[in-house]
Chain A
């Protein structure tokens, strides 16, 4: 109950204070008390196929929204294609100059909804969560004429 409340409050704070890009991101509270927020999206949203993009993974402390840095060695992300067959573990790196922000480069080649499995440790909190991306649109839909 407490973790749910923490997540709701944190999500409202993010909506109130976050930028436009953060609106498309998804947030889950992890830990026995919902101590940490795992916020996931992509650098470029909406997401199109066949253009360079990147994971946008943000870890914050739920209580005060302080970013949690230095987790790049204990966070792991696997991306699963819409068909559920192809999967790849992404090499996570910390974003330079943005504590608590992590990324991995990727180019999505199939339209549809991808699954992101994220697991590891945030300090002493072990977690594993799945996120679904928003619909990835074929880049061809933008072509004109």
Chain B
């Protein structure tokens, strides 16, 4: 009985050690970084009316003052892939641009504190319908920088 208990103990130790090695060696997503978990409007959403704000929910809190959030209008484009391609080009051109308030569709952030995982980007009033790109570069509190973008559209008739 004592022998079988000892064997069981060592089996448990081995299994635990093996699990630890596997957990260490397995490909890990970069946990702890701030990635977009949800948004409103959602990615690729087609809305019938312009929202008053865009809400971004990140997986980790971000340093708001050291992060960038922008919304830009996009040219009309029927092909969704070409629209995303146009969005990616615009993101590369303007994400870090300064003094671009006139070109932007957003009016800055709603007050959210110095650190937040829930960001609200206010939109300007009387924006035309059409496609828009929401872009961000955020500094998470673990000091890592992540960035991304997504497209949404406003079509009064609800689109095709």
Contact = CB atoms under 8 A, between A and B. Distances in A.
Interface stretch (A12-20, A25-33, A70-78): A70-78
A74 B145 contact: no
Contacts of A122: 85
A6 to B, nearest CB: 20
Interface string B9-39: 0000000000000000001001001000000
Chain A interface secondary structure, helix, strand, loop or mixed?
Answer: loop
Contacts of A73: 84, 87-88
Contact of B89 (A52, A105, A120, A123): A123
B92 A68 contact: yes
Given A52-B27, A96-B33, A97-B145, A70 B92 contact: yes
Contact of B91 (A70, A96, A97): A70
A97 B30 CA distance: 11
B47 to A, nearest CB: 20
B27 A123 contact: no
A71 B146 contact: no
A96 B88 contact: no
B82 interface: yes
B4 to A, nearest CB: 34
A121 B27 contact: no
Interface residues of A, number: 15
A85 to B, nearest CB: 27
A69 B88 CA distance: 8
Given A121-B85, A123-B89, A70 B149 contact: yes
A124 interface: yes
Contact of A124 (B89, B145, B149): B89
A105 B85 contact: no
Contacts of A52: 27
Contacts of A97: 144-145
Interface string A112-145: 0000000011111000000000000000000000
B81 interface: yes
Contacts of B82: 121, 124
Given A73-B84, A121-B81, A105 B91 contact: no
Contacts of B91: 70
Contacts of B86: 123-124
Interface in A50-74: 52, 68-71, 73-74
Interface of A: 52, 68-71, 73-74, 96-97, 105, 120-124
